[in-house]
């Protein structure tokens, strides 16, 4: 079975794919700048912004001592929804905060145990040999390089403490030698680590730290922030507003596109419904043509098509009705004459007269069917539909057709539909007549009715041979007869089901024909419940 997708869903999905493509390009640009992993969040402009924030926090903490320093970190922690900790070069913690660092964070901070030394520079793995031991020549080379760069910096730095602090900060920003003769790479000193037990994020930024108790002499330090959720991490990094702005842009885009999508889909739905009604013979159906685009032109074409079909079909039915009406009088006189002739004809001509009489009777049947068809089709479209009890109409129809003993009726008392009783009775009579004619000897014929929400379905079912599947869609066309009904003895003139369609259309209902399994035929009338 083919799955259908509404046009509104397709357009919405296309819009979402467009926005996702833009988001993917943005993420690709960020990844290209900072690589994969959580640490990519602290590179580029975001990293510089976080670097400035952490430097301000470290600067305020440096001019405070003891509990005041702890209060500074706590104050910023409340403001940014995080817990801040300072780690320096000569001690595990600069403040007295008790914190249990995950192994991944301890390794990134270059901690060698609770009281180990804090080493700036390359990761420890970069100084280890294949056997896991420290590569002493490389370690010595690194130390000599750091001492040489520190000596060069000392020769350039000013003597005034304030100027010296500014020099150290700006020098680090330019990637110049940093504190204690060790290279200061601001980008390498940033990291974001996600831990799962317990779930948290750790953000570390290398910052200049010049504590007042040491005379304002800068020393290397890392300010570490601990947050509990991704939302808090985005807030700390200043990305929360960007995420909200992106969500706002997405919502605004959807709201911007929604009126256009709804306008298009509503017009298409109206056109679809109108064409379905026209296909069912409701040629008075019209669609709104106020649109000034292709859909408006299409609606105007549908309206003109419906008008021309209405004119054509109405004229055709009127012509058939007029012809049938004019034929009634001569056919009645002809039937009377053949009846008299059959009574007075000699024996050698009796068989011929009987054949002529049968032909006249066949013509009379055809004319009567034509009159019934045109009467059903020419019914005023403003016919008054009233609440009609199904059970009495069905009983009267079976009695009129003389099929009360051959048809099983299963309609609950009190079940009512909005219909015209004459049109409904005419439609049921033709269906029962067809069932008795083609399937009367094959098994039970049933007339049932059931309510489903706001509609009632009346079904006439039999166990006859059914009709070829290729002919199901053409049932109800005037003068169309399937192959099994083309004989004079068993078939009609091809107007019975056309009368059914016209009568039910006059009741503003629908008709559906189908074959049953393993054999049989089902005619289904759907009317509005009363």
Residue-wise DSSP of 20-48: HHHHHHHHHHHHHHH-SSGGGGGSHHHHH
**Are 107 and 222 in the same domain?**
yes
**Are 523 and 478 in the same domain?**
yes
- Give backbone dihedrals phi and psi of 498, rounded to 5 degrees, phi first: -65, -40
Of the CA atoms within 13 Å of residue 256, those in its CB half-sphere come to: 7
Low-confidence ranges of the chain (pLDDT < 70): 1-8, 29-36, 89-92, 96-97, 110-188, 213-216, 375-382, 483-493
CA angle 514, 516, 520 (to 5 degrees): 100
- 138 occurs within a structural domain: yes
**Are 79 and 199 in the same domain?**
yes
Q: What pLDDT score does 177 carry?
A: 36
Q: What pLDDT score does 332 carry?
A: 87
Q: What pLDDT score does 151 carry?
A: 52
Q: Which residues of 340-375 are buried (b: 16+ CB within 10 A; e: fewer)?
A: ebeeebeeeeeeebeebbeebeeebebbebbbbbbb
- 230 occurs within a structural domain: yes
**Cα separation of 14 and 6, whole Å?**
13
Domain boundary pick from 330, 361, 392: 361
Domain boundary pick from 331, 361, 391: 361
**Are 233 and 317 in the same domain?**
no
- 4 occurs within a structural domain: no
**Are 87 and 163 in the same domain?**
yes
Q: Residue 160 belongs to what domain range?
A: 37-238
**Are 390 and 494 in the same domain?**
yes
- 463 occurs within a structural domain: yes
- 355 occurs within a structural domain: yes
**Are 98 and 191 in the same domain?**
yes
**Total domains in the fold of the chain:** 3
**Are 77 and 221 in the same domain?**
yes
Q: Are 123 and 129 in contact (CB under 8 A)?
A: no
Count the neighbouring beta carbons within 10 Å of the beta carbon of residue 174: 8
**Are 351 and 439 in the same domain?**
no
Structure tokens at 515: 């074959």
- 17 occurs within a structural domain: no
**Are 128 and 48 in the same domain?**
yes
- 159 occurs within a structural domain: yes
Q: What CATH number is attached to the domain comprising 399? A: 3.30.565.10
Q: What pLDDT score does 115 carry?
A: 37
Domain boundary pick from 361, 390, 423: 361
């Amino acid at each position: 079975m083919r799955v259908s997708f509404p046009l509104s869903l397709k357009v919405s999905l296309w819009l979402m794919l467009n926005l996702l493509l833009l988001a993917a390009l943005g993420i690709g640009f960020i990844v290209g700048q900072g690589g994969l992993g959580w640490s990519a969040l602290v590179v580029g402009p975001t990293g510089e912004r976080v670097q400035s924030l952490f430097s301000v926090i470290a600067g305020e903490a440096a001019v405070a001592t003891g509990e005041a320093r702890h209060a500074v970190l706590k104050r910023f922690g409340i403001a940014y929804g995080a817990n801040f900790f300072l780690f320096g070069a000569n001690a595990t913690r600069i403040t007295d905060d008790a914190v249990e660092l995950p192994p991944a964070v301890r390794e990134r901070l270059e901690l060698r145990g609770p009281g180990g030394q804090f080493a700036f520079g390359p990761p420890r793995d970069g100084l280890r040999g294949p056997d896991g031991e420290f590569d002493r020549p490389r370690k010595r080379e690194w130390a000599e390089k750091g001492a040489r760069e520190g000596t060069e910096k000392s020769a350039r730095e000013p003597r005034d403490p304030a100027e010296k602090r500014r020099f150290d900060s700006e020098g680090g920003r330019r990637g110049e030698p940093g504190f204690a003769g060790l290279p200061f790479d601001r980008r390498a000193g940033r990291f974001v680590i996600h831990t799962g037990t317990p779930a948290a994020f750790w953000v570390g930024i290398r910052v200049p730290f010049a504590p007042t108790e040491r005379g304002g002499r800068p020393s290397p330090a890392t300010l570490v922030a601990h947050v509990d959720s991704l939302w808090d991490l985005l807030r700390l990094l200043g990305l929360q507003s960007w995420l909200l702005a992106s969500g706002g842009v997405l919502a605004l885009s959807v709201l911007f596109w929604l009126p256009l999508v709804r306008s298009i889909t509503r017009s298409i739905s109206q056109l679809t419904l109108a064409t379905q009604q026209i296909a069912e013979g409701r040629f008075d159906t019209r669609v709104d043509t106020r649109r000034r685009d292709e859909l408006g032109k299409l609606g105007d074409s549908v309206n003109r098509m419906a008008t021309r079909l209405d004119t054509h079909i109405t004229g055709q039915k009127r012509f058939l009705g007029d012809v049938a009406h004019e034929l009634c009088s001569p056919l009645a006189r002809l039937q009377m004459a053949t009846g008299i002739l059959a009574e007075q004809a000699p024996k050698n001509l009796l068989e011929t007269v009987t054949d002529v009489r049968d032909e006249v009777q066949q013509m009379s049947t055809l004319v009567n069917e034509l009159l019934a068809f045109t009467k059903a089709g020419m019914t005023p479209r403003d016919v008054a539909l009233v609440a009609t009890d199904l059970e009495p109409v069905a009983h009267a129809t079976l009695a009129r057709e003389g099929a009360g003993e051959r048809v099983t009726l299963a309609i609950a008392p009190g079940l009512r539909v909005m219909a015209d009783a004459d049109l409904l009775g005419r439609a049921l009579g033709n269906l029962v007549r067809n069932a008795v004619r083609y399937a009367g000897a094959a098994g039970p014929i049933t007339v049932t009715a059931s309510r489903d929400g706001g509609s009632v379905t009346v079904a006439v079912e039999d166990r006859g041979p059914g009709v070829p599947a290729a002919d199901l869609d053409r049932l109800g066309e005037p003068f169309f007869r399937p192959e099994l009904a083309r004989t004079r003895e068993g078939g009609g003139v091809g107007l019975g089901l056309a009368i059914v369609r016209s009568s039910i259309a006059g009741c503003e209902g629908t008709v559906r024909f189908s074959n049953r399994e393993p054999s049989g035929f089902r005619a289904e009338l759907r009317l509005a419940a009363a």
